[in-house]
């Protein structure tokens, strides 16, 4: 389990967690946008830096885009695709998550 569903508000703070990816453990985060939960590795697609400027702070001030605190790169929350800044053409590494019984889980497939 990553967190309770109620821990994620649309455009609000994200939840940091550790994810297994390609046999390694890596920092990741989950957010809610448009009523759906999304998760990504916590790594800017431009340069491998963590996105959040404070733990859980992944969205810009409008809650519209995910933003890299180091470079200002903007990413679409629903796809992880770069929408502005030095990350042009790049995408965040998405993770498969789902909600069940009021909790958020990472898919193990």
Indicate the fold that domain 3-106 takes in CATH. Rieske Iron-sulfur Protein (2.102.10)
Q: Give the Å distances, CA to CA, from 88 to 37, 75, 83.
A: 24, 10, 7
One pLDDT digit (tens) per residue for the chain, 109 residues: 999 999 999 999 999 999 988 889 999 999 999 999 999 999 999 988 999 989 999 999 999 999 999 989 999 999 999 999 999 999 999 999 999 999 999 998 7
């Amino acid at each position: 389990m990553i967190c309770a569903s109620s821990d994620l508000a649309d455009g609000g703070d994200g939840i940091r967690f550790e994810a297994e990816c390609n046999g390694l453990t890596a920092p990741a985060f989950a957010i809610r946008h448009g009523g759906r939960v999304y998760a990504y590795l916590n790594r800017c697609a431009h340069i491998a830096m963590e996105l959040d400027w404070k733990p859980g702070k992944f969205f810009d001030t409008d809650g519209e885009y995910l933003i890299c605190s180091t470079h200002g790169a903007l990413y679409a929350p629903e796809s992880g695709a770069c929408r502005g800044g030095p990350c042009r053409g790049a995408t965040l590494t998405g993770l498969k998550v789902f909600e069940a019984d009021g909790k958020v889980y990472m898919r193990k497939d």
